[in-house]
Amino acid sequence: YAEKRCTEEGIWFAMGNSSKPQRSEWTDYTRCLDKNSLFVSIYLGLACNIASIALLLPATGIFITYRSLRKQHRIRLHINLFVALMFSNILTVMWEMLVAHEKLTGSSTSFIFQNANACNLLAFLRLYSRSTTYVWMFCEGFYLHRLISNAFKPPKSLLFLYLIGWGFPLAYTTVYGILRLVYANEACWIKSTGHLQWILYAPNLFCLK
């Protein structure tokens, strides 16, 4: 069965910014879920992300350590992609432990309720880091295309790709974050906002096209 909490003021506990007149009433549906399956899913995700970090870290270290490798443009692109993947994995681990896991085990005293601003920041960084992985894969493909189409005139600078790889996802993730704060700033951005999600989905899907 679901559970709601009545406050001392005689109203239902609500999520959201207290400065706004309308906030969403919070209902705990965790009793209605198969927690064991959800915990298994979380732990498997954590294991995969930690394994990914453990493999990416030495690979990145090798590329950075040897000068003959890191001065090559394609290796520099690999390094940025690996860093983006590690960045995404680390933030996903933090999200799963601080938000997803606590949402199943905790209540209104969990991280998601006590640290609304920090939780929103974590959600934003997680979305940004995930987007950087898509864009850096696009940058890798774009660079390879340039090498094939202009074999005798390779790019002399990677500055443009650096700006695209780190700056472009920051731009559209920031737009999403601002709109999310204005129209759906609740529950640590766990709930889908419907059409607003396409601000993230569209460029990420384009990078995979």
Model pLDDT for residues 88-108, shown as the tens digit of each residue? 999 999 988 888 777 666 655
Residue that wins the pLDDT comparison between 114 and 172: 172
Model pLDDT for residues 116-156, shown as the tens digit of each residue? 788 889 999 999 999 999 999 999 999 988 888 877 777 78
Query: Residue 19's pLDDT is what?
Result: 46
DSSP string, the chain: --EE-B-TTSSB-EES-TTSS--EEPEE-GGGS-HHHHHHHHHHHHHHHHHHHHHHHHHHHHHHH-HHHHTSHHHHHHHHHHHHHHHHHHHHHHHIIIIIHHHHH--TTSHHHH-HHHHHHHHHHHHHHHHHHHHHHHHHHHHHHHHHHTTTS--S--HHHHIIIIIHHHHHHHHHHHHHHHH---GGG-S--GGGGHHHHHHHHHHH-
> Residue 10 has which token pair?
């005689």
Query: Residue 151's pLDDT is what?
Result: 72
> Residue 116 has which token pair?
């609304």
- pTM higher than 0.85, yes or no? no
Model pLDDT for residues 45-90, shown as the tens digit of each residue? 999 999 999 999 999 999 999 888 888 888 999 999 999 999 999 9
| Whole-angstrom distance, CA of residue 200 vs CA of residue 129 | 12
Model pLDDT for residues 179-194, shown as the tens digit of each residue? 999 988 877 888 888 8
**Could you give the domains of the chain?**
33-208 (1.20.1070.10)
